[in-house]
Amino acid sequence: MNIRDEKLHLPPGLAIYGETIASRLLLGTAGYPSPAVLKNAVKASGADIVTVSLRREAAGGKVGERFLELIRDLGVRVLPNTAGCRTAGEAITTANMARELFDTDWIKLEVIANDDTLQPDVFGLVEAASTLTRDGFRVLPYTTEDLSVAERLQRAGCEVIMPWGAPIGSGRGLANAQALKSLRAYFPDVTLIIDAGIGAPSHAALAMELGYDAVLLNTAVAKAADPERMSAAFAAAIAAGRLGYESGLIPSRDMAVPSTPVAGTPFFDLD
């Protein structure tokens, strides 16, 4: 097959709550130098979903209105999040406000436990997720790589689980790749999205090679010297990583395995 055949080098879309999303890159919208840079980065990434903080837009007044107009002009799905919420009650209230403002049942659920690490409060997260799913929300929870928490979130009605790679904005990549690999193996049929901590396209490619369905990132693009080119780099890395996973990666080995058989190799005497 020709490598330019799109059936060869473009993996199939991502399934989220019964909908097929073409791009496996979800992009955050905070921290960009200007609206124009954000617009160009989103377009270059090919992302179909962008996250938006309700707190930021509610406090932004006219600026917030212009920002929402920009997002609507891009023709992408808005995924509101509950960024900055410290309790389940606060997250639930914010989610309900977001549903009214953005006219969507989808919510990226964040309940933060620690100001230094921005680690999720897994107890409040499960509580909020249970309430929101009962109220008809399609919840995408930001959580840790803890297997037991993921089980509770799934029982709460979450069809998507979003474990962190590393603390938000840290750029450390997959800090506990083995645990993330185990999570993927334990939930083979659940949509799993790496959320937070990704700093380089290679980190995103590794996540996809582990079998994750998508990557959500923000800082690595927004704070890059050239956000537009960086978003394109991440899109390419994610597509390559997914294609590698689907193609069947060879297992790692402790010993060398020759690609050319050594048995029967001719010996040439040059004397």
Residues 6+ apart with CB under 8 A from 29: 38, 42, 50, 51, 52, 67, 71, 218
Q: How far apart are CA 223 and CA 32, in angstroms?
A: 7
19-21/14-16 β-pairing:
antiparallel
> Is position 223 annotated as part of the catalytic site?
no
Which is catalytic among the residues 43, 62, 108, 223? 108
Q: Hey, what are 134's tokens?
A: 């009962």
Q: In a 10 Å sphere around its CB, with 0-12 CB exposed, 13-18 middle and 19+ buried, how is residue 266 labelled?
A: exposed
Gyration radius from the chain CA atoms: 21
Tell the residue number behind the tokens 């270059």, with chain if given.
44
Q: In a 10 Å sphere around its CB, with 0-12 CB exposed, 13-18 middle and 19+ buried, how is residue 54 labelled?
A: buried
Q: How far apart are CA 106 and CA 138, in angstroms?
A: 5
Catalytic residues, by residue number, are 108
